[in-house]
Chain A
Protein backbone atom coordinates (compact mmCIF):
# COMPACT_ATOMS: atom_id res chain seq x y z
CA UNK A 1 0.00 0.00 0.00
CA UNK A 2 1.29 3.42 -0.91
CA UNK A 3 1.38 6.69 0.96
CA UNK A 4 -1.27 9.39 0.60
CA UNK A 5 0.95 12.35 -0.17
CA UNK A 6 4.60 13.13 -0.83
CA UNK A 7 6.16 16.57 -1.14
CA UNK A 8 9.16 16.94 -3.44
CA UNK A 9 11.54 19.92 -3.04
CA UNK A 10 11.76 21.69 -6.39
CA UNK A 11 15.06 23.07 -7.62
CA UNK A 12 15.95 24.93 -10.77
CA UNK A 13 18.96 24.66 -13.08
CA UNK A 14 19.17 27.52 -15.58
CA UNK A 15 15.63 28.07 -16.90
CA UNK A 16 14.45 24.52 -16.29
CA UNK A 17 13.47 22.32 -13.41
CA UNK A 18 16.62 20.53 -12.17
CA UNK A 19 16.93 16.88 -13.14
CA UNK A 20 17.15 15.79 -9.47
CA UNK A 21 13.63 17.21 -8.96
CA UNK A 22 12.24 15.32 -11.95
CA UNK A 23 13.95 12.12 -10.76
CA UNK A 24 12.33 12.45 -7.33
CA UNK A 25 8.93 13.13 -8.92
CA UNK A 26 9.23 9.83 -10.79
CA UNK A 27 10.02 8.02 -7.53
CA UNK A 28 7.27 9.82 -5.61
CA UNK A 29 4.62 8.92 -8.21
CA UNK A 30 5.22 5.22 -7.62
CA UNK A 31 5.02 5.64 -3.83
CA UNK A 32 2.09 7.98 -3.18
CA UNK A 33 -1.36 8.88 -4.53
CA UNK A 34 -0.67 12.60 -4.51
CA UNK A 35 2.62 14.26 -5.40
CA UNK A 36 3.20 17.96 -4.82
CA UNK A 37 6.21 20.25 -5.16
CA UNK A 38 7.42 22.95 -2.76
CA UNK A 39 10.05 25.41 -3.86
CA UNK A 40 11.61 28.84 -3.64
CA UNK A 41 10.94 31.36 -6.40
CA UNK A 42 7.95 31.59 -8.72
CA UNK A 43 6.19 28.24 -9.19
CA UNK A 44 4.18 29.57 -12.16
CA UNK A 45 7.32 29.42 -14.31
CA UNK A 46 7.69 25.68 -13.75
CA UNK A 47 4.08 24.51 -13.31
CA UNK A 48 3.89 23.09 -16.83
CA UNK A 49 7.10 21.06 -16.61
CA UNK A 50 6.34 19.86 -13.07
CA UNK A 51 2.78 18.93 -14.06
CA UNK A 52 4.09 16.98 -17.05
CA UNK A 53 6.14 14.96 -14.54
CA UNK A 54 3.18 14.23 -12.29
CA UNK A 55 3.07 17.06 -9.75
CA UNK A 56 -0.51 18.14 -9.01
CA UNK A 57 0.27 21.31 -7.09
CA UNK A 58 3.32 23.58 -6.79
CA UNK A 59 3.72 25.56 -3.57
CA UNK A 60 6.21 28.39 -4.00
CA UNK A 61 7.58 31.19 -1.84
CA UNK A 62 8.09 33.83 -4.51
CA UNK A 63 11.33 35.80 -4.84
CA UNK A 64 13.52 35.51 -1.72
CA UNK A 65 15.31 38.81 -2.53
CA UNK A 66 18.76 37.33 -2.03
CA UNK A 67 17.83 35.26 1.02
CA UNK A 68 19.09 31.68 1.12
CA UNK A 69 16.58 28.92 0.43
CA UNK A 70 17.20 26.76 3.52
CA UNK A 71 15.79 28.94 6.26
CA UNK A 72 13.12 30.60 4.07
CA UNK A 73 11.63 27.44 2.57
CA UNK A 74 11.75 25.45 5.82
CA UNK A 75 10.11 28.29 7.75
CA UNK A 76 7.40 28.69 5.11
CA UNK A 77 6.59 24.96 5.07
CA UNK A 78 6.50 24.71 8.86
CA UNK A 79 4.27 27.79 9.12
CA UNK A 80 1.86 26.51 6.47
CA UNK A 81 1.52 23.17 8.26
CA UNK A 82 1.20 24.75 11.72
CA UNK A 83 -1.55 27.12 10.56
CA UNK A 84 -3.52 24.31 8.98
CA UNK A 85 -3.36 25.99 5.56
CA UNK A 86 -1.91 22.83 4.09
CA UNK A 87 -2.13 19.25 5.23
CA UNK A 88 1.30 17.80 6.08
CA UNK A 89 2.51 15.16 3.62
CA UNK A 90 3.55 11.68 4.73
CA UNK A 91 7.09 12.34 3.56
CA UNK A 92 9.36 15.03 2.12
CA UNK A 93 11.89 14.17 -0.60
CA UNK A 94 14.80 16.56 -1.16
CA UNK A 95 17.87 16.19 -3.35
CA UNK A 96 21.36 15.80 -1.88
CA UNK A 97 22.28 19.31 -3.03
CA UNK A 98 23.44 22.40 -1.17
CA UNK A 99 19.95 23.87 -0.86
CA UNK A 100 18.27 20.47 -0.40
CA UNK A 101 20.47 19.76 2.60
CA UNK A 102 19.88 23.22 4.07
CA UNK A 103 16.10 22.93 3.77
CA UNK A 104 16.13 19.37 5.17
CA UNK A 105 18.25 20.35 8.18
CA UNK A 106 16.19 23.41 9.07
CA UNK A 107 12.87 21.61 8.46
CA UNK A 108 13.86 18.64 10.61
CA UNK A 109 14.32 20.96 13.60
CA UNK A 110 11.06 22.79 12.94
CA UNK A 111 9.07 19.54 12.71
CA UNK A 112 11.30 17.68 15.22
CA UNK A 113 11.67 14.76 12.84
CA UNK A 114 14.79 12.98 11.67
CA UNK A 115 16.39 13.10 8.24
CA UNK A 116 17.24 9.89 6.42
CA UNK A 117 20.19 10.74 4.18
CA UNK A 118 22.06 9.51 1.08
CA UNK A 119 19.01 7.62 -0.14
CA UNK A 120 19.32 5.77 -3.48
CA UNK A 121 16.14 3.67 -3.31
CA UNK A 122 12.76 4.03 -1.60
CA UNK A 123 9.99 1.64 -0.63
CA UNK A 124 6.84 1.78 1.48
CA UNK A 125 6.05 -0.51 4.39
CA UNK A 126 3.44 1.47 6.39
CA UNK A 127 5.91 4.36 6.31
CA UNK A 128 8.70 5.23 3.92
CA UNK A 129 11.99 3.31 3.96
CA UNK A 130 15.17 4.70 2.42
CA UNK A 131 18.09 2.59 1.24
CA UNK A 132 21.59 4.01 1.75
CA UNK A 133 24.85 2.50 0.50
CA UNK A 134 27.67 2.62 3.09
CA UNK A 135 31.35 1.66 3.09
CA UNK A 136 31.81 2.73 -0.51
CA UNK A 137 28.68 0.94 -1.66
CA UNK A 138 29.62 -2.51 -0.37
CA UNK A 139 26.77 -2.57 2.17
CA UNK A 140 23.14 -1.44 1.79
CA UNK A 141 21.39 -0.12 4.89
CA UNK A 142 17.61 0.34 4.89
CA UNK A 143 16.24 2.88 7.33
CA UNK A 144 12.58 3.38 8.16
CA UNK A 145 10.88 6.50 9.42
CA UNK A 146 9.30 5.47 12.74
CA UNK A 147 8.79 8.97 14.14
CA UNK A 148 5.04 9.04 13.63
CA UNK A 149 5.67 12.34 11.83
CA UNK A 150 6.43 13.10 8.19
CA UNK A 151 9.82 11.65 7.29
CA UNK A 152 12.47 13.74 5.56
CA UNK A 153 14.55 11.94 2.94
CA UNK A 154 17.64 13.30 1.18
CA UNK A 155 17.89 11.56 -2.19
CA UNK A 156 21.10 11.25 -4.20
CA UNK A 157 21.06 12.48 -7.80
CA UNK A 158 20.79 9.81 -10.53
CA UNK A 159 19.08 7.33 -8.21
CA UNK A 160 15.85 7.36 -10.22
CA UNK A 161 15.00 7.81 -13.89
CA UNK A 162 13.07 10.98 -14.68
CA UNK A 163 10.08 10.39 -16.97
CA UNK A 164 7.27 12.65 -18.10
CA UNK A 165 3.76 11.23 -17.77
CA UNK A 166 1.89 13.87 -19.75
CA UNK A 167 0.22 15.36 -16.69
CA UNK A 168 -1.67 18.65 -16.88
CA UNK A 169 -0.07 21.91 -15.77
CA UNK A 170 0.21 21.87 -11.97
CA UNK A 171 -1.92 24.15 -9.81
CA UNK A 172 0.09 26.86 -8.09
CA UNK A 173 -0.26 27.97 -4.48
CA UNK A 174 1.63 30.55 -2.44
CA UNK A 175 3.87 29.40 0.37
CA UNK A 176 4.24 32.47 2.53
CA UNK A 177 7.62 33.05 4.17
CA UNK A 178 7.06 34.35 7.72
CA UNK A 179 9.20 37.19 9.12
CA UNK A 180 12.56 35.51 9.63
CA UNK A 181 14.32 38.23 11.64
CA UNK A 182 18.08 37.79 12.02
CA UNK A 183 17.89 34.05 11.23
CA UNK A 184 17.22 35.03 7.63
CA UNK A 185 19.93 37.70 7.54
CA UNK A 186 22.34 35.91 5.16
CA UNK A 187 21.99 37.47 1.69
CA UNK A 188 23.41 36.56 -1.70
CA UNK A 189 25.04 39.69 -3.10
CA UNK A 190 26.47 38.18 -6.29
CA UNK A 191 26.28 34.90 -8.23
CA UNK A 192 28.98 33.32 -10.38
CA UNK A 193 28.45 30.49 -12.85
CA UNK A 194 31.38 28.32 -13.89
CA UNK A 195 30.61 27.51 -17.50
CA UNK A 196 32.45 24.86 -19.46
CA UNK A 197 32.41 23.82 -23.12
CA UNK A 198 31.28 20.41 -24.27
CA UNK A 199 28.76 18.07 -22.68
CA UNK A 200 27.76 18.49 -19.03
CA UNK A 201 29.57 16.27 -16.55
CA UNK A 202 26.43 14.52 -15.30
CA UNK A 203 24.97 14.04 -18.79
CA UNK A 204 28.00 13.05 -20.90
CA UNK A 205 28.20 9.54 -22.39
CA UNK A 206 31.93 9.47 -21.61
CA UNK A 207 33.56 11.01 -18.55
CA UNK A 208 37.33 11.31 -18.14
CA UNK A 209 38.42 12.12 -14.58
CA UNK A 210 41.83 12.92 -13.17
CA UNK A 211 43.20 12.54 -9.67
CA UNK A 212 46.25 13.08 -7.52
CA UNK A 213 48.18 10.54 -9.60
CA UNK A 214 48.52 13.16 -12.33
CA UNK A 215 51.22 14.61 -10.10
CA UNK A 216 50.85 18.29 -10.92
CA UNK A 217 48.06 20.71 -11.96
CA UNK A 218 49.64 21.16 -15.43
CA UNK A 219 49.09 17.46 -16.15
CA UNK A 220 45.33 17.95 -15.98
CA UNK A 221 45.49 19.18 -19.58
CA UNK A 222 45.77 15.47 -20.55
CA UNK A 223 42.35 14.86 -18.99
CA UNK A 224 40.92 17.81 -20.92
CA UNK A 225 42.50 16.63 -24.19
CA UNK A 226 41.29 13.06 -23.79
CA UNK A 227 37.76 14.23 -22.92
CA UNK A 228 37.76 16.41 -26.04
CA UNK A 229 39.08 13.59 -28.23
CA UNK A 230 36.24 11.26 -27.20
CA UNK A 231 33.52 13.94 -27.04
CA UNK A 232 33.21 13.51 -23.28
CA UNK A 233 33.30 15.67 -20.18
CA UNK A 234 36.30 16.18 -17.89
CA UNK A 235 35.92 15.40 -14.18
CA UNK A 236 38.06 15.21 -11.08
CA UNK A 237 38.52 13.53 -7.72
CA UNK A 238 37.98 15.55 -4.55
CA UNK A 239 41.72 15.52 -3.84
CA UNK A 240 42.61 17.73 -6.81
CA UNK A 241 39.55 19.97 -6.38
CA UNK A 242 40.57 20.56 -2.76
CA UNK A 243 44.10 21.24 -3.97
CA UNK A 244 42.70 23.93 -6.27
CA UNK A 245 43.72 22.35 -9.61
CA UNK A 246 40.18 22.52 -11.02
CA UNK A 247 36.88 24.09 -9.82
CA UNK A 248 34.36 22.27 -7.63
CA UNK A 249 32.00 21.91 -10.60
CA UNK A 250 34.40 19.21 -11.90
CA UNK A 251 34.15 17.07 -8.78
CA UNK A 252 32.80 13.52 -9.06
CA UNK A 253 31.94 11.80 -5.81
CA UNK A 254 29.95 11.73 -2.63
CA UNK A 255 30.22 15.50 -2.55
CA UNK A 256 30.15 16.75 -6.12
CA UNK A 257 28.43 15.11 -9.06
CA UNK A 258 27.10 11.59 -9.30
CA UNK A 259 27.76 10.32 -12.83
CA UNK A 260 26.55 7.21 -14.65
CA UNK A 261 28.07 7.48 -18.13
CA UNK A 262 28.49 4.67 -20.67
CA UNK A 263 32.25 4.87 -20.11
CA UNK A 264 34.12 6.32 -17.14
CA UNK A 265 37.87 6.71 -17.49
CA UNK A 266 39.72 7.26 -14.20
CA UNK A 267 43.25 8.57 -14.69
CA UNK A 268 45.51 8.64 -11.64
CA UNK A 269 42.60 8.12 -9.26
CA UNK A 270 43.12 5.62 -6.43
CA UNK A 271 39.42 5.14 -5.78
CA UNK A 272 38.65 6.49 -2.30
CA UNK A 273 35.16 5.68 -1.05
CA UNK A 274 34.31 9.35 -1.51
CA UNK A 275 34.98 9.01 -5.23
CA UNK A 276 33.63 5.49 -5.83
CA UNK A 277 30.10 6.33 -4.70
CA UNK A 278 29.97 9.05 -7.34
CA UNK A 279 30.94 6.88 -10.33
CA UNK A 280 30.32 3.22 -9.47
CA UNK A 281 27.08 3.27 -11.41
CA UNK A 282 28.95 3.85 -14.69
CA UNK A 283 28.25 1.13 -17.26
CA UNK A 284 31.92 0.60 -18.11
CA UNK A 285 34.93 1.71 -16.09
CA UNK A 286 38.50 2.05 -17.33
CA UNK A 287 41.19 2.82 -14.75
CA UNK A 288 44.79 3.84 -15.23
CA UNK A 289 46.91 3.85 -12.08
CA UNK A 290 50.48 3.09 -11.05
CA UNK A 291 49.51 1.23 -7.88
CA UNK A 292 48.21 -2.30 -8.61
CA UNK A 293 46.63 -2.31 -5.14
CA UNK A 294 44.52 0.82 -5.82
CA UNK A 295 40.84 0.22 -4.89
CA UNK A 296 39.74 1.64 -8.26
CA UNK A 297 40.83 -1.66 -9.91
CA UNK A 298 38.19 -3.56 -7.91
CA UNK A 299 35.45 -1.78 -9.87
CA UNK A 300 37.25 -1.42 -13.23
CA UNK A 301 36.19 -3.43 -16.30
CA UNK A 302 39.56 -2.64 -17.82
CA UNK A 303 42.40 -1.80 -15.46
CA UNK A 304 45.78 -0.55 -16.69
CA UNK A 305 48.60 -0.73 -14.17
CA UNK A 306 50.87 1.94 -15.54
CA UNK A 307 52.04 5.53 -15.52
CA UNK A 308 49.35 8.00 -16.65
CA UNK A 309 52.11 10.18 -18.09
CA UNK A 310 53.04 7.39 -20.50
CA UNK A 311 49.62 5.88 -21.28
CA UNK A 312 47.57 9.08 -21.64
CA UNK A 313 49.65 10.89 -24.32
CA UNK A 314 49.68 7.79 -26.55
CA UNK A 315 45.95 7.28 -26.01
CA UNK A 316 45.18 10.91 -26.86
CA UNK A 317 47.34 10.74 -29.99
CA UNK A 318 45.72 7.50 -31.14
CA UNK A 319 42.21 8.92 -30.71
CA UNK A 320 42.98 12.35 -32.19
CA UNK A 321 44.41 10.77 -35.36
CA UNK A 322 41.19 8.90 -36.12
Chain B
Protein backbone atom coordinates (compact mmCIF):
# COMPACT_ATOMS: atom_id res chain seq x y z
CA UNK B 1 0.00 0.00 0.00
CA UNK B 2 1.36 3.40 -0.96
CA UNK B 3 0.38 6.26 1.29
CA UNK B 4 1.13 9.89 0.46
CA UNK B 5 1.09 12.35 3.35
CA UNK B 6 0.73 16.09 2.77
CA UNK B 7 3.19 17.87 5.02
CA UNK B 8 3.46 21.57 5.75
CA UNK B 9 6.64 23.19 6.93
CA UNK B 10 5.89 26.26 9.01
CA UNK B 11 7.70 28.90 11.07
CA UNK B 12 8.06 27.75 14.69
CA UNK B 13 4.73 28.56 16.43
CA UNK B 14 6.72 29.36 19.59
CA UNK B 15 7.97 32.39 17.64
CA UNK B 16 4.62 33.90 16.67
CA UNK B 17 5.84 35.79 13.59
CA UNK B 18 4.27 38.70 11.78
CA UNK B 19 2.79 39.72 8.47
CA UNK B 20 5.15 41.52 6.12
CA UNK B 21 3.34 44.80 5.32
CA UNK B 22 5.01 44.91 1.88
CA UNK B 23 4.15 41.44 0.63
CA UNK B 24 1.12 40.84 2.88
CA UNK B 25 2.36 37.31 3.49
CA UNK B 26 3.65 35.63 6.61
CA UNK B 27 7.31 36.48 7.22
CA UNK B 28 9.26 33.27 6.82
CA UNK B 29 12.76 34.37 7.70
CA UNK B 30 13.40 31.70 10.31
CA UNK B 31 14.03 28.00 9.71
CA UNK B 32 10.88 26.04 8.99
CA UNK B 33 9.79 23.08 11.10
CA UNK B 34 7.35 20.22 10.56
CA UNK B 35 3.84 21.41 11.43
CA UNK B 36 2.93 19.39 14.51
CA UNK B 37 -0.55 18.82 13.01
CA UNK B 38 1.12 16.84 10.21
CA UNK B 39 3.09 14.57 12.53
CA UNK B 40 -0.19 12.72 13.22
CA UNK B 41 -0.73 12.00 9.51
CA UNK B 42 2.85 10.79 9.15
CA UNK B 43 2.48 8.46 12.15
CA UNK B 44 -0.92 7.22 10.94
CA UNK B 45 0.56 6.46 7.50
CA UNK B 46 3.51 4.56 9.01
CA UNK B 47 1.16 2.47 11.16
CA UNK B 48 -1.20 1.70 8.24
CA UNK B 49 1.70 0.58 6.02
CA UNK B 50 3.01 -1.56 8.88
CA UNK B 51 -0.41 -3.14 9.35
CA UNK B 52 -0.73 -3.77 5.60
CA UNK B 53 2.57 -5.65 5.67
CA UNK B 54 4.04 -3.89 2.66
CA UNK B 55 4.17 -0.51 0.99
CA UNK B 56 5.73 2.84 1.77
CA UNK B 57 5.04 6.36 2.90
CA UNK B 58 5.85 9.27 0.59
CA UNK B 59 5.69 12.92 1.68
CA UNK B 60 4.55 15.88 -0.42
CA UNK B 61 5.28 19.45 0.60
CA UNK B 62 5.30 22.92 -0.90
CA UNK B 63 7.69 25.55 0.50
CA UNK B 64 9.95 28.36 -0.70
CA UNK B 65 13.56 27.65 -1.73
CA UNK B 66 13.37 23.84 -1.57
CA UNK B 67 13.23 24.06 2.22
CA UNK B 68 13.41 20.53 3.64
CA UNK B 69 14.26 20.93 7.34
CA UNK B 70 10.70 20.02 8.36
CA UNK B 71 10.51 17.21 5.81
CA UNK B 72 13.65 15.67 7.30
CA UNK B 73 11.83 15.30 10.63
CA UNK B 74 9.07 13.30 8.92
CA UNK B 75 11.63 11.24 6.97
CA UNK B 76 13.39 10.53 10.28
CA UNK B 77 10.09 9.21 11.67
CA UNK B 78 10.13 6.61 8.91
CA UNK B 79 8.73 7.98 5.63
CA UNK B 80 10.64 6.55 2.65
CA UNK B 81 10.87 9.53 0.31
CA UNK B 82 9.52 13.01 -0.37
CA UNK B 83 8.58 15.53 -3.02
CA UNK B 84 9.21 19.22 -2.41
CA UNK B 85 7.66 21.78 -4.74
CA UNK B 86 9.24 25.24 -4.83
CA UNK B 87 8.73 28.06 -7.29
CA UNK B 88 8.88 31.83 -6.93
CA UNK B 89 5.50 32.08 -8.64
CA UNK B 90 3.93 30.26 -5.68
CA UNK B 91 4.31 33.20 -3.29
CA UNK B 92 0.91 34.43 -2.14
CA UNK B 93 -0.87 31.19 -3.10
CA UNK B 94 -4.24 30.75 -1.43
CA UNK B 95 -5.64 27.38 -0.33
CA UNK B 96 -6.91 26.52 -3.81
CA UNK B 97 -3.56 27.35 -5.45
CA UNK B 98 -1.80 25.26 -2.83
CA UNK B 99 -4.22 22.38 -3.40
CA UNK B 100 -3.59 22.49 -7.18
CA UNK B 101 0.16 22.15 -6.61
CA UNK B 102 -0.12 19.39 -4.02
CA UNK B 103 -2.68 17.47 -6.10
CA UNK B 104 -0.38 17.52 -9.14
CA UNK B 105 2.55 16.28 -7.04
CA UNK B 106 0.41 13.57 -5.39
CA UNK B 107 -0.96 12.34 -8.74
CA UNK B 108 2.59 11.42 -9.87
CA UNK B 109 2.81 8.97 -6.96
CA UNK B 110 -0.44 7.07 -7.78
CA UNK B 111 -1.15 6.46 -4.08
CA UNK B 112 -3.75 4.14 -2.58
CA UNK B 113 -4.36 6.58 0.25
CA UNK B 114 -3.68 10.28 0.73
CA UNK B 115 -3.49 11.61 4.31
CA UNK B 116 -3.49 15.24 5.39
CA UNK B 117 -4.04 17.16 8.60
CA UNK B 118 -7.46 18.80 8.97
CA UNK B 119 -5.78 22.20 9.07
CA UNK B 120 -2.33 23.71 9.39
CA UNK B 121 -1.23 25.39 12.61
CA UNK B 122 -0.39 28.68 10.89
CA UNK B 123 -2.93 29.27 8.10
CA UNK B 124 -5.74 27.02 9.42
CA UNK B 125 -8.02 27.39 6.42
CA UNK B 126 -9.05 23.72 6.75
CA UNK B 127 -10.13 23.50 3.11
CA UNK B 128 -7.05 22.10 1.34
CA UNK B 129 -7.83 18.38 1.94
CA UNK B 130 -11.30 18.58 0.35
CA UNK B 131 -9.86 20.66 -2.50
CA UNK B 132 -7.11 18.10 -3.19
CA UNK B 133 -9.66 15.27 -3.18
CA UNK B 134 -11.87 17.15 -5.63
CA UNK B 135 -8.92 17.93 -7.93
CA UNK B 136 -7.83 14.28 -7.90
CA UNK B 137 -11.38 12.96 -8.34
CA UNK B 138 -11.12 11.01 -5.08
CA UNK B 139 -13.69 10.35 -2.36
CA UNK B 140 -12.70 11.95 0.94
CA UNK B 141 -13.36 11.52 4.63
CA UNK B 142 -12.32 14.54 6.64
CA UNK B 143 -11.85 15.08 10.40
CA UNK B 144 -10.87 11.48 11.12
CA UNK B 145 -10.26 10.57 14.76
CA UNK B 146 -9.53 6.94 13.92
CA UNK B 147 -8.46 5.27 10.66
CA UNK B 148 -8.11 1.60 9.70
CA UNK B 149 -7.69 0.00 6.29
CA UNK B 150 -9.39 -3.33 5.67
CA UNK B 151 -10.08 -5.12 2.38
CA UNK B 152 -9.32 -2.17 0.12
CA UNK B 153 -11.47 0.26 2.10
CA UNK B 154 -10.78 2.87 4.75
CA UNK B 155 -12.85 2.64 7.93
CA UNK B 156 -12.92 6.01 9.58
CA UNK B 157 -14.46 7.57 12.66
CA UNK B 158 -15.27 11.09 11.50
CA UNK B 159 -15.86 13.87 14.03
CA UNK B 160 -19.21 15.62 13.73
CA UNK B 161 -20.73 18.52 15.63
CA UNK B 162 -22.82 16.01 17.61
CA UNK B 163 -20.28 13.22 18.13
CA UNK B 164 -18.84 11.01 15.42
CA UNK B 165 -19.86 8.99 12.37
CA UNK B 166 -18.47 5.65 11.26
CA UNK B 167 -17.64 6.10 7.58
CA UNK B 168 -16.48 3.51 5.07
CA UNK B 169 -14.74 4.50 1.87
CA UNK B 170 -13.16 2.39 -0.90
CA UNK B 171 -9.54 3.20 -1.82
CA UNK B 172 -8.02 5.17 -3.39
CA UNK B 173 -9.25 7.96 -1.15
CA UNK B 174 -8.16 10.98 0.84
CA UNK B 175 -8.52 11.10 4.63
CA UNK B 176 -7.80 14.15 6.78
CA UNK B 177 -6.83 13.36 10.36
CA UNK B 178 -7.27 15.33 13.57
CA UNK B 179 -4.49 15.79 16.08
CA UNK B 180 -4.71 12.92 18.53
CA UNK B 181 -5.63 10.25 15.97
CA UNK B 182 -2.38 8.51 16.97
CA UNK B 183 0.59 9.38 19.16
CA UNK B 184 3.44 10.49 16.86
CA UNK B 185 6.75 8.72 17.50
CA UNK B 186 9.93 10.65 18.18
CA UNK B 187 12.55 10.13 15.47
CA UNK B 188 15.27 7.77 16.68
CA UNK B 189 18.96 8.60 16.24
CA UNK B 190 19.13 5.91 13.58
CA UNK B 191 16.10 7.45 11.88
CA UNK B 192 17.64 10.91 11.90
CA UNK B 193 20.86 9.58 10.34
CA UNK B 194 18.94 7.58 7.72
CA UNK B 195 16.78 10.59 6.81
CA UNK B 196 19.80 12.46 5.53
CA UNK B 197 20.19 10.10 2.59
CA UNK B 198 16.52 9.50 1.76
CA UNK B 199 15.48 10.69 -1.73
CA UNK B 200 13.80 14.11 -1.96
CA UNK B 201 12.52 15.01 -5.41
CA UNK B 202 12.69 18.77 -6.07
CA UNK B 203 10.06 20.03 -8.51
CA UNK B 204 9.00 23.40 -9.88
CA UNK B 205 5.71 24.41 -11.53
CA UNK B 206 7.02 23.55 -15.00
CA UNK B 207 7.75 20.00 -13.93
CA UNK B 208 4.18 19.67 -12.64
CA UNK B 209 2.69 21.19 -15.79
CA UNK B 210 1.01 23.99 -13.86
CA UNK B 211 0.73 27.44 -15.39
CA UNK B 212 1.98 30.22 -13.10
CA UNK B 213 -1.26 32.16 -13.68
CA UNK B 214 -3.14 29.44 -11.74
CA UNK B 215 -1.27 29.96 -8.48
CA UNK B 216 0.37 32.62 -6.29
CA UNK B 217 -0.95 36.16 -6.25
CA UNK B 218 -1.96 35.82 -9.93
CA UNK B 219 -4.29 32.88 -9.33
CA UNK B 220 -5.65 33.91 -5.96
CA UNK B 221 -8.91 35.66 -6.76
CA UNK B 222 -8.69 37.39 -3.40
CA UNK B 223 -6.88 40.46 -2.22
CA UNK B 224 -5.94 41.60 1.28
CA UNK B 225 -7.36 45.10 1.58
CA UNK B 226 -6.29 45.93 5.13
CA UNK B 227 -4.18 44.68 8.03
CA UNK B 228 -4.95 46.37 11.35
CA UNK B 229 -4.20 45.76 15.00
CA UNK B 230 -7.31 44.40 16.70
CA UNK B 231 -8.63 46.35 19.68
CA UNK B 232 -6.79 44.81 22.64
CA UNK B 233 -8.76 43.32 25.50
CA UNK B 234 -8.11 45.34 28.61
CA UNK B 235 -5.90 43.37 30.98
CA UNK B 236 -7.52 42.74 34.35
CA UNK B 237 -6.20 42.12 37.80
CA UNK B 238 -3.73 39.31 38.42
CA UNK B 239 -3.18 38.15 42.00
CA UNK B 240 -1.02 35.49 43.62
CA UNK B 241 -2.91 32.78 45.49
CA UNK B 242 -2.22 33.08 49.22
CA UNK B 243 -4.70 30.35 50.09
CA UNK B 244 -7.76 32.60 49.78
CA UNK B 245 -7.96 33.17 46.01
CA UNK B 246 -11.20 31.19 45.87
CA UNK B 247 -12.86 33.93 47.93
CA UNK B 248 -11.88 36.49 45.30
CA UNK B 249 -13.42 34.33 42.58
CA UNK B 250 -16.67 33.94 44.54
CA UNK B 251 -16.81 37.70 45.11
CA UNK B 252 -16.16 38.30 41.42
CA UNK B 253 -19.03 35.97 40.47
CA UNK B 254 -21.29 37.61 43.07
CA UNK B 255 -20.62 41.05 41.59
CA UNK B 256 -21.72 39.74 38.20
CA UNK B 257 -24.88 38.23 39.76
CA UNK B 258 -24.48 35.04 37.75
CA UNK B 259 -24.86 32.58 40.60
A-side residues, CB < 8 A to B, are: 11, 13-14, 18, 68, 70-71, 74, 96-98, 101-102, 104-106, 108-110, 112-118, 125, 129, 133-149, 151, 154, 182-194, 205-206, 230, 238, 241-244, 247-249, 254-255, 262-263, 265, 273-274, 280, 284-286, 288, 292, 297-307, 310-311, 314-315, 318-319, 322
Q: Is the CB of A114 within 8 A of B95?
A: yes
Q: Is B139's beta carbon under 8 Å from chain A? A: yes
Q: Is the CB of B221 within 8 A of A188?
A: no
Chain A min CB distance to B95 (Å): 6
Q: Is the CB of A141 within 8 A of B259?
A: no
The number of residues on chain B lying at the interface, defined by a beta carbon within 8 Å of a beta carbon of chain A, is 81
Supposing A183-B139, A188-B166, A242-B179 touch, asked if A301 and B236 sit within 8 A by C-beta, the answer is yes
Determine, out of B77-85, B104-112, B155-163, the stretch whose residues face the partner at the interface.
B155-163
Q: Is the CB of A185 within 8 A of B170?
A: yes
Q: CA of A70 to CA of B169 in the docked complex: distance in angstroms?
A: 14
Q: Is the CB of B165 within 8 A of A105?
A: no
Q: Collect the chain B residues with CB atoms within 8 Å of residue A265's CB.
A: 249
Q: CA of A315 to CA of B252 in the docked complex: distance in angstroms?
A: 12
Supposing A105-B129, A105-B130, A230-B259 touch, asked if A149 and B221 sit within 8 A by C-beta, the answer is yes
Q: Collect the chain B residues with CB atoms within 8 Å of residue A148's CB.
A: 221
Q: Collect the chain B residues with CB atoms within 8 Å of residue A139's CB.
A: 19, 227-230
B-side residues, CB < 8 A to A, are: 13, 16-19, 94-97, 99, 118-119, 121, 124-131, 133-135, 137-143, 145, 158-170, 173, 178-180, 220-230, 232-233, 235-241, 243, 245-250, 252-253, 256, 258-259
Q: Collect the chain B residues with CB atoms within 8 Å of residue A307's CB.
A: 241
Q: Is the CB of B224 within 8 A of A141?
A: yes
Q: Collect the chain B residues with CB atoms within 8 Å of residue A105's CB.
A: 95, 99, 127-131, 133-134
**Residue in contact with A303 in the complex, picked from B220, B237, B246, CB distance below 8 Å:** B237
**Residue in contact with A292 in the complex, picked from B99, B179, B238, CB distance below 8 Å:** B238
Q: Is the CB of A146 within 8 A of B99?
A: no
Q: Is the CB of B224 within 8 A of A286?
A: no
Q: Collect the chain A residues with CB atoms within 8 Å of residue B18's CB.
A: 135
Chain A min CB distance to B16 (Å): 6
Q: CA of A255 to CA of B176 in the docked complex: distance in angstroms?
A: 14
Question: Which of B130, B141, B169 gathers the greatest number of chain A CB atoms within 10 Å?
Answer: B130
Q: Collect the chain B residues with CB atoms within 8 Å of residue A311's CB.
A: 241, 245-246, 249
**Residue in contact with A101 in the complex, picked from B127, B229, B247, B256, CB distance below 8 Å:** B127
